[in-house]
Structure 1
């Protein structure tokens, strides 16, 4: 869902860098072949992720929730020459699609795909800190993932969480379980003195968090 008015979003989309050819194909194929294609980051958010990654030139990135790999590729664009991204996808049925999508790009060798539950995969990582983390997985566990990775992020590192405006429901009267959990996430991070935080009204809401 787009939070911004359609005409404003269209204006923004036409005043950013073009969508790379490989990402155009992944975008198109996702909508043709995969369930819930709206979960894909898309052109505008993808360029935001790419820009943020390039601004900090990370050596190590963690992504929780790969889906069809669109955001993975965007984040990998900013990696240092010897950098890499660990990306975690719980659905094994997407593995073949993901490896095919990554092969379309020049960042394929910088991507390390992990299939399995995110909490278990994270527990197996070494103590080398991450420079950038992107959380875009099952929303009910966002706060758990944040708590698990906060100590694994270097001071000054960036954590990005997607869908924090939840179709506008978090600032309305909705009382369903998912909305309550995302409000809890936002409120918890807003009150956390270990981090600086800022919500951007991009697509369904992007929360930027900088570890102090």
Structure 2
């Protein structure tokens, strides 16, 4: 059996200041229903945090697998705090809201929200929503890593090609001979070919 996902819920304070405030009572009830639904579905709800300036530090300490944002009228403010808090340590973010204004959904997705769910708080829906969000996040992270690796590889190839060209020009070597010289130097010094190539370019820049 796999370990339960460790989840942090980012939500406003449940304390109701005015029992006659139907909106506050309704929001508190749906927020409680969400948390109960998470527990009923076997998730490990490790904390409920407010969306404030301390969120980054708290998430760094807790290291959750997934963040659930429970928001309604303050959805934009909560989202801004969560996006800032996960900027350097990306995690899947699922936003549950009853706010029928979906005009900011594209901005939310672009900012890093993995799933944006309107009025989807039934207990039966929570697990498939979070499972799909987690799978989507992992897929996007894999694509992100592959893209970063491809960019790094392209940059390294350009560095090596520039160094080869420099050696070919200044030492009258063939392309293969220039590469072999870089490779031998890398083996002798216990470095990567691209590191030797960069040193060749750096020295050339210093000498003019």
Name the TM tier (shorter chain): 0.3 to 0.5
TM superposition score normalised by structure 1: 0.37
Larger strand percent: 1
Larger helix percent: 2
Question: Which is greater in Rg?
Answer: 2
TM superposition score normalised by structure 2: 0.38
Higher relative contact order (CA 8 A, sep 6+): 1
